[in-house]
Structure 1
């Protein structure tokens, strides 16, 4: 089989994943992305382990099974484990210890199998996307994270593996749309990281096998949509469950259970025996016991992911509307909270400032004046958050603003890169 025919691009994302195959004879305007779930080109990075029959569901089906009330264990934001000490630990799933490495391998393997089914062929080579930094300011930890992802990918049957920075892959996807040379600032704000590349693109350059000279600079910061969710959750919902309230001793309520519940990949830690015991102690010592009763209801019902989904939904809604209401009746009947966009802006301001500063440093390091940037290309689901977009565009006010496929640009670009590297 030709190398080009067994090579794909895989974007294993924090929130959503895609896979693409750029094959010979494919039209210039056709997307290389492959359908992964019910005809859709994205597979949410979610696994649900059913308690009743040991069945495992993935993606939208996993979320639907969880929300329908099936007994089991939901896992989301799996990619966030890469580069952390948790990757070498395990979690309990239906009474057995499951190493986190095996959990990630299970999802990546399913992603590859679905891509192969859609393409009607086996893939043995792939270009995998990776953030500019899995881990900020720690080169060794960053390399360990990449090696871990490579080991996980090999378990799925991939033999030849290359990596590409995700914003560079997104740039390749944008390049097929342009008719002249452009200096492009690619802004990729996904679920787990914010990544940026300043790159020269053109139809002629797209035919080159080596693009190193076209990349002026790349950078990133470990801030993404899940961090925005956590910030909004801690400010808007967790105080309703007791965060920031007082104990009878006069001390402030311990914050660890709230941070676990507000962080996608640690939600299940709030259901451990140790955590449940701590919450019971907090309830006994609380000055405002009704709030702690809501917290107890939440963990008893294992509804942390449900709550996180409400918060994520509010964040998305506030990107398009001035206000959004979260119905919280699963915690306490009749409870709801209405948020204004300003509430979101205040909750995420510090995070957005860090992202903005990272982009500003990138431009300084590249010695590029803002007036020299032709286009700012946005991709990644969280790049649609208005405050983020406004702050970044302020750094290049004369540039054209282009929104790519927020969830598919990286996977499409990785597929093009796979054909270039392996074809």
Structure 2
């Protein structure tokens, strides 16, 4: 059976064509979108779970991961686990388990953000292969249960660039991880399509006239733009190469907006702007590392022994030691992802409200703060400027002015972002699509075309 697979930074989804109509399959209970998150009682148990789900090439995988599988057995013994115990969770279940016991186990949100990271050693590439495979296996199995058929051929979405630096090498590494994971999950045929182009294909069926459209996909990890000729004369062409006039993309997306909001509006509660006894300004690097949940280097630094010792000294040097104590507690309890998740929820809620109250009692009883929409605008100004620059670059590359701007992606709902786009792009009509479903719908449609 043929499907489109959106392995997204924020959410994952699978679509199939059912009697000519695109239908998304349930992948998280009865929901058709699953948050991109995984929690395991121990890191090594992820590899063990992957080994159980591989149908073809399992012996080769076991030989390749022999050290990790031996460590998984030790972890099972140390945790006193039996064969039937559930040891790995994805989606909403992963968040529930992590929130319940953040200092134990292994939690990762938005693993797609890390796939193109520069300088990943082979063992880390293998580890990310296992994380992605574990998630893909689970999603695919859930989707297959709902249809009663095997999913064998897929088109997976990809950003224009997974990373800004060494983009070609980064892209090859990330695509290799995704393809390896897809094949270990049981897909026999795997192709990729640019996410903004997929989003545009979904939108195109609505057009009654030919238009040049700037497609803007603000995803969780990347923002991608494509200038595409669309409409009735283009819709059913098998070769759309000539219709795609330009595309741009960069590793800046919804996660970056969440992190900026967390750093600007939440980190001051943990001492980022507190005075030092010496009168010197508070160094900010460690506070920024605390919320940089999409940066491997920052996460490693923040969790290092050196940072623990540094924070102990900083608490002695700070004129407000109690607030540094909050940061020490946050680090000890591994609650940084939870803090950024709360910033993300605040960003989402500010789409409909002028201000929101953020309850941080999971860190300290009665701790909270109020964030206004204009404070969100100030916090995300820099990443938003980069997104706008991508749009302008796509228009410049194409050498034509778009007739329409089609925006998709969860963050595209924000009035702050829409206002910024309108200010720069002028009177060009700005249209919305399905902010979460456009990409997977387009991927599914493209899969039907190339595999028919």
TM-score w.r.t. length of structure 2: 0.83
- C-alpha change, 1:213 and 1:137, in structure 2 (3 Å) is farther
The residue aligned with 2:105 is 72
Aligned with 1:325: secondary structure? strand
Residues 1:325 and 2:320 are matched in the alignment: no
- Distance across 1 between alignment mates of 2:424 and 2:129: 40
Instruction: Report the CA distance shift for 1:120/1:222 in structure 2 as closer, same or farther (over 3 A).
Output: same
The superposition leaves residues 145-165 of structure 1 with CA deviations (integer Å, 9 ceiling, x where unpaired) of: 222322222222223221110
Change (3 A) 1:86 1:13: farther
Aligned twin of 2:4: 9
Q: Residue deviations 1:187-212, cap 9 Å, x none? A: 10010011111111123422111111
Instruction: Give the conservation status (yes or no) of the 8 Å contact 2:129–2:180.
Output: no
Aligned to 1:151: 180
Q: Report the equivalent of 2:139.
A: 111
| Alignment check: 8 A CA contact 1:88 1:99 kept | no
CA offset digits 1:351-395 (Å, max 9, x no partner): 1112112211211221113xxx33221111011122222222334
Rounded Cα–Cα distance in structure 1 between residues aligned with 2:335 and 2:165? 35
Within 5 A, what are the aligned runs for 1:17-416?
A: 17-23=12-18, 25-26=19-20, 30-50=21-41, 53=81, 55-69=87-101, 71-85=104-118, 87-88=120-121, 99-136=127-164, 138=166, 139-248=168-277, 252-265=281-294, 269=300, 270-369=302-401, 373-416=402-445
Contact 2:292 2:299 (C-alpha < 8 Å) held by counterparts: no
Give secondary structure in 1 for the equivalent of 2:380.
helix
CA contact (8 A) 1:20 1:412 kept: yes
TM-score by length of 1: 0.88
Alpha carbons 2:22, 2:444 under 8 Å: kept: no
Provide structure 1 residue ranges, at least 5 long, that are not aligned to the other structure. 1-5, 92-96
Mean alpha-carbon deviation: is it higher for 108-117 or for 379-388?
108-117
Question: 2:218–2:253: 8 Å Cα contact kept in structure 1?
Answer: yes
- d(CA) in 2 for partners of 1:85, 1:277: 28
Stretch moving more, 165-174 or 306-315: 306-315
- Unmatched tracts of structure 2, length 5 or more: 43-78
Alpha-carbon contact 2:36-2:110 (below 8 Å) kept = yes
* CA–CA separation in structure 1 for the residues paired with 2:445 and 2:364: 50
Aligned residues: 406
Give the aligned partner of residue 63 of structure 2.
none
Distance, in Å, in 1 between the alignment partners of 2:338 and 2:207 is 42
